Amino acid sequence: MYIFVILSGVLLIPLILFLFVDIIPLWRSKKLVANGVRVKGECVMATWSSDAGTLRVKYVTQGGVELEHCTDLLDAPSAETGDLIDILHDRRKPSRSMVAGRAERMAARRLLSGPFFYLELFFLIPQGFWIYLLGSGAIHS
């Protein structure tokens, strides 16, 4: 019976990863594309380091509030200081923003295509069934 509890707990780890790595970002980007406000932002900094780049964009909301969005330079690889970049921001929480191109690419993704989906399909479902059989007494350990 203890193995049932331990294995059930271990199976929760990939499910939680699937939720936080695949489902929540996909849901947020779809919501942002559907309900967000598109504004033009000005690139105030675009720097490359040895392993990554940083893009900093200032934008003004429809309410007149000036905000700044910082992201990977990969979202707009050809951006230079002074360039105008489309930003999508949430109407209710304007500080929640994304480069429009990235948000649209993420929103176009299908949920059933991420690596954690395959982990669930080929590992969690068979393991869960085995644990169910073990816990129901159909298999004796």
Residue spans of the domains in the chain: they are: 1-35+110-141, 36-102
| Structure-model confidence comparison of residues 129 and 40, the more confident one | 40
Q: Which residues contact 108 (CB under 8 A, 6 or more apart)?
A: none
Where residue 79 falls among pLDDT bands split at 50, 70, 90?
Answer: confident
Tell me the pLDDT band of 58, cut-offs 50, 70 and 90. very high
- In the DSSP assignment, the letter for residue 22 is I
CA distances from 71 to 43, 82, 100, 103 (A): 11, 16, 12, 12
Residue that wins the pLDDT comparison between 66 and 134? 66
Contacts of 53 (CB under 8 A, 6+ apart): 46, 47, 72, 73, 74, 77
Interatomic CA distance for residues 127 and 44, integer angstroms: 50
Q: For position 28, what pLDDT does the model report?
A: 87
pLDDT at position 107 is 84
First and final C-alpha spacing in the chain:
9
In 3D, which of 25, 14, 39, 29 has the Cα closest to residue 121? 14
Architecture in CATH for domain 36-102: Beta Barrel (2.40)
pTM (2 d.p.): 0.66
Categorize the per-residue pLDDT at 123 as very low, low, confident or very high, splitting at 50, 70 and 90: low
The DSSP code sequence of 30-82 is HHHHHH-EEEEEEEEEEEE-SS-EEEEEEEE-TTS-EEEEEEEGGGSTT--TT
d(CA 90, CA 94): 5
